[in-house]
Every structure is written in structure tokens, then in C-alpha cells.
């Protein structure tokens, strides 16, 4: 397993170390099923909001719940390993809940990032992050780039 892929207890310790070093920690989450340019651009911009980027990814079961049967295309292990190889990603963690709220409460990121398709008030954990002085940022997607569009093209 890639050293950037963490369990919560280990990531909490790492997060605390980064905080002691005065580093700004950014958190984002998603399925990241078929990694594509839109994902990479999004993650690069998310990392630009701070010094360290934590990416939480949905477990296979969680992806099936969100996206339906036939998804994910890639296993949680493969998705985690691929994301861990990206230079802009500092840590990867899996979560199986419907939302990453528990992780956000435990990790207390300085910046919470989601796609611009989310209304700020609907971003899970946003109010909590702002309650201790953190901020919420929304990042625009690359037009026409999505896993859904890739899958639609494959099925034409």
C-alpha cells in the first residue's frame, strides 16, 4: 500500500504534525472513479489553496449507493493508489459513510474544497470548518470532462 494512503488514526497524527508546522491543510472528497483531466485539474487547484491536500474517497459500497449498479469501474484500492501517485495529493483516506462529515470533524482542515456545482450552503462540513476560522472554496470543473461523459461515450 502506498504510504500516502492512511487510516484515520494515522492521518490524524499526520494532520496534527502539519498543524504544528504551521501548514495549511486542504480537504476534498469524491469518488474519483475513472481518473481524467478534469479530476487532475480540480485536485491541482485544490492543492493550490494550501500546503497539504487530503483526498477522501468513497469506498466501493459508497460509490454504488451514490452512482448505482456497475459503479465503481475501478476498485477503492486502485482509486486510492492512483490518487496517491499524484504529486499534488499528500494523503488519501477511504470513507464508507454517505458523507465525509465524520472525517472533516476529526481532521479539522483549514480549507474545505468542493466543486462549483455545489452551493456553498450545501457543502457537507462547511459550516463546521468556518466555525473555527477555516474557509470553504468552490472550484470550477473543466467543461465536458466527467466520468459520466466518458462512460456515455464508451456505450455509444
pLDDT one-digit tens code per residue, 43-69: 999 999 999 999 999 999 999 999 888
**Cα dihedral across residues 102, 91, 42, 61: positive or negative:** negative
Q: Is residue 137 part of a domain?
A: yes
Q: Is residue 125 part of a domain?
A: yes
pLDDT one-digit tens code per residue, 81-131: 999 999 999 999 999 998 999 999 999 999 999 988 889 999 999 999 999
**For residues 43 and 28, what is the distance between their CA atoms, to the nearest angstrom?**
8
Q: Is residue 39 part of a domain?
A: yes
Domain with 70 in it: 8-154
Q: Is residue 2 part of a domain?
A: no
Q: Is residue 1 part of a domain?
A: no
19: exposed, middle or buried (Cβ count in 10 Å: 0-12, 13-18, 19+): middle
The predicted pLDDT at position 22 comes to 98
pLDDT one-digit tens code per residue, 110-121: 999 998 888 999
CATH code at 20? 3.40.50.620
Q: Which residues contact 83 (CB under 8 A, 6 or more apart)?
A: 32, 35, 43, 55, 57, 89, 92
Question: What does the buried/exposed string (b/e) look like for 35-60 if buried means 16 or more CB atoms within 10 Å of the residue's CB?
Answer: bbebbbebbeebbebbebbbbbbbbb
Full-model pTM: 0.91
**Grid cell digits, residue 34:** 475513472
Q: Is residue 150 part of a domain?
A: yes
Q: Is residue 3 part of a domain?
A: no
C-beta separation of 46 from 123 below 8 A: no
Domain count, the chain: 1
Given pLDDT bands bounded at 50, 70 and 90, which one contains residue 76?
Answer: very high
**For residues 75 and 63, what is the distance between their CA atoms, to the nearest angstrom?**
10
**For residues 107 and 109, what is the distance between their CA atoms, to the nearest angstrom?**
6
Amino acid at each position: 500500500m502506498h504510504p500516502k494512503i492512511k487510516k484515520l488514526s494515522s492521518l490524524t497524527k499526520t494532520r496534527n504534525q502539519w498543524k504544528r508546522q504551521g501548514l495549511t491543510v486542504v480537504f476534498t472528497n469524491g469518488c474519483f472513479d475513472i481518473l481524467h483531466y478534469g479530476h487532475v485539474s480540480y485536485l491541482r487547484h485544490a492543492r493550490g489553496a494550501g500546503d497539504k491536500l487530503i483526498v477522501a474517497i468513497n469506498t466501493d459500497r459508497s460509490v454504488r449507493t451514490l452512482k448505482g449498479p456497475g459503479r465503481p469501474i475501478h476498485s477503492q484500492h486502485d482509486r486510492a493508489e492512483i490518487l496517491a501517485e499524484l504529486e499534488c495529493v499528500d494523503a488519501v483516506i477511504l470513507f464508507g459513510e454517505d458523507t465525509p462529515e465524520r472525517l472533516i470533524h476529526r481532521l479539522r482542515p483549514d480549507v474545505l474544497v468542493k466543486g462549483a456545482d455545489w452551493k456553498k450552503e450545501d457543502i457537507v462540513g462547511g459550516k463546521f470548518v468556518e466555525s473555527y476560522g477555516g474557509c470553504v472554496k468552490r472550484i470550477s470543473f473543466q467543461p465536458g470532462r466527467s466520468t459520466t461523459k466518458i462512460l456515455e461515450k464508451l456505450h455509444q
